[in-house]
Amino acid sequence: MNQNPPSEASKPAVEFQNVSCRFGDVLAVDQVNFSIREGEFFSMLGPSGSGKTTCLRMIAGFESPTQGIVRILGKDAGNLPPYERDVNTVFQDYALFPHMSVGENVEYGLMIRKVSKPDRKRQALEMLDLIQLPDVYDRKPSQLSGGQRQRVALARALINKPRVLLLDEPLGALDLKLREQMQIELKQLQRKVGITFVFVTHDQEEALTMSDRIAVFSHGKVEQIGTAFEIYEKPKTSFVANFVGLSNIFEGKSSQEIFGNTNTYLVRPEKIRISESSSNSSPSALSKDDSSIVVQARVSLIIYSGAHTKIEFATASGKKILATLSNSSELTSTLSKDKEVLLSWSKADTQLLVA
C-alpha cells in the first residue's frame, strides 16, 4: 500500500517525447514533453480545446500521435492497441451497463478474460468493499446515486489491476458538495491502491486538491508542470496565473505606475493588506523600507462570498485591483463603495511573469 507521494527518483509510468497530434488543419497537441512517475497522481489541467483530453486518449490508445513518441512503462506504445496497454479508463458518464447488476458491471473485465465466476464475484466484492459500497452487488446502476455510480465505475476499472488509471473528468457530473467529497475520497483511494492516476480536468480546485503534480495546458502546449504549491504560488506565465486562482496582473502602464518598469507581475488577492488612507500622507511616505509596495486606491465593488469578501479597488489611473478579506476581519464592516484606502503587499509576494 502506497502511503506517500512518489519521489523524484520514481521511474516514469508514462512519457511524452516531442508529441504532436493533428486533426486535419487543427493542431490539437503541439510538441509536448513530460513524464508521469509511477504511483503519482498527475493531473492535466486546462480549458476546453487545450489538448489535455487528446493527450489522455493517446495514452489510452484511442488516438495516435502525428509526431513523437508516447511510452507506457518504458515501451513505445505507438503500435499497441488499447487492449494491450496496461491502462484502464474511467469516463465522465461512467458508461455502466444499465441492464447488468452492479456486481456484473464490476466483474465485466474479468468475464472478458474468462476468469471463473466464483473468482469474479470474490474480486468484485473485494473491490466494492474498497470503495466503501459493500452492499450494492445485486443492485442496478439506476438504483444508485451519482457518487455511488462513480465509485462503481472506479471499481470496474481497478479490478483489472492496471498499472495506470486514466480519469477523464469523472467528477464533472456531480453536484458541488458531492464533487468536493469525492475529491478527497479519490485521492485516498489512489493512495490505497498505489497505482498511477492520470486525471483530466478543467476545474482548478480539483487539480490543486488531489494532485502530486499538475500540467497546465493551453492551445496544445504545456505551459507549466509543478506541484499544487508551485502552480499557484509560483506561476511562470500570465496564462497559468490567470487560469489557476484569482490574480492581479500588472503590465505596461500599470506596472510603470506601481513598480517603475513595464515588466509583467502577479499579486494574489489574498496577499494584499488593506488599511485606512491618510489624506496628508503619500503612499511613498508610508513605505518605511524597500520590502513593501503601497498603493492608494478607492473601493469600487464589494462582493460577499461566504467565508470571504471580494473587494475590487481602483487606483487613480483606473487600474483595478482585487483583494480578498476574511469575514472575521473587522475591516469588512468599515469598507464601503468609494472609500479611500491604502493597499500594500510584500515584494516577496510579487511574482515576475513571462507574458
Domain count, the chain: 2
62 and 210 belong to one structural domain: yes
Rounded Cα distance between 155 and 200, Å, is 18
The grid coordinates of residue 69 equal 513518441
DSSP assignment of 11-54, as one string? Answer: PEEEEEEEEEEEETTEEEEEEEEEEEETT-EEEEE--TTSSHHH
pLDDT at 232: 96
Instruction: Report yes or no on 191 lying in a domain.
Output: yes
CATH number at residue 170: 3.40.50.300
pLDDT in tens, 285-309: 344 456 889 999 999 999 988 888 9
**Is there a single domain that holds both residue 121 and residue 159?**
yes
* Residue 46 CA, distance from chain mean position: 8
Average pLDDT score, the chain? 89
Residues 149 and 25 in one domain: yes
pLDDT greater than 50 at residue 205: yes
- What element of type H or E holds 262? none
Q: Is the pLDDT of residue 63 over 90?
A: yes
pLDDT digits (tens, 9 = 90+) for 303-328: 988 888 999 999 988 999 999 988 87
Residues 108-166 pLDDT 10s: 989 988 999 999 999 999 999 988 888 999 999 999 988 888 889 889 999 988 999 99
Highest mean pLDDT among 11-15, 41-45, 304-308: 41-45
User: End-to-end distance of the chain based on CA atoms, in angstroms?
Assistant: 43
φ/ψ (deg, to 5) at 148: -70, -40
What letter represents residue 48's amino acid? S
Strand partners, 325: 309
Q: Are residues 225 and 258 in the same domain?
A: no
Residue 334, domain member (yes or no): yes
Contact 52, 219 (CB under 8 A): no
Q: Is 6 inside any structural domain?
A: no
CA atoms of 96 and 141, how far apart (whole Å): 7
**pLDDT of 23:** 95
- Residue 145: the pLDDT is 87
For residues 186 and 47, membership in a common domain is answered with yes
- Position 167 in a domain: yes
Task: Taking residues 246-262, report their average pLDDT.
Answer: 91
92-101, 181-190, 248-257, 329-338: range with lowest mean pLDDT: 329-338
235, 270, 297 - which closes a domain = 235
For residue 50, what pLDDT is reported?
Answer: 96
Task: For the full predicted model, state whether its pTM sits above 0.85.
Answer: yes
